[in-house]
Amino acid sequence: MLLPASATAYATAYATAYATASATASATAYATASATASATAYARASATAYARASATAYARASARASATASATASARASARAYARASARAYARASARASATASATASATAYATASATASARASILGHT
């Protein structure tokens, strides 16, 4: 049995509209899913790369700061120790020199006084 021309046209229009809507929906869904997956992958990769770069930069800066602080502390401690040792050595040398000078002056004074007294006694004893 043959369909009337209007029924054929209606069926054709309906099938065309359904196929078009179905293809459009399928293409839209695929494009959306693909774009979402691509954007998500890009965001993840970008976030990972940023986190790595940030962590590396932080680690480098932290290591530099730690090394600088350590070197500064070491230099200060070394300078303090050197100053203390130098002051002690100077005090010891100064004390030795003072003691030596004092002992020399005392011995010289004693020898001079003793020789003078002996000479006087000798002179007085002969007169």
pLDDT tens digits for 39-72?
999 999 999 999 999 999 999 999 999 999 999 9
Say whether pLDDT at 126 is over 80: no
Helices (H) and strands (E) in the chain, counts: 1, 0
pLDDT tens digits for 15-43?
999 999 999 999 999 999 999 999 999 99
Cα distances (Å, whole numbers) of residue 9 to 87, 108, 114, 127: 114, 145, 154, 173
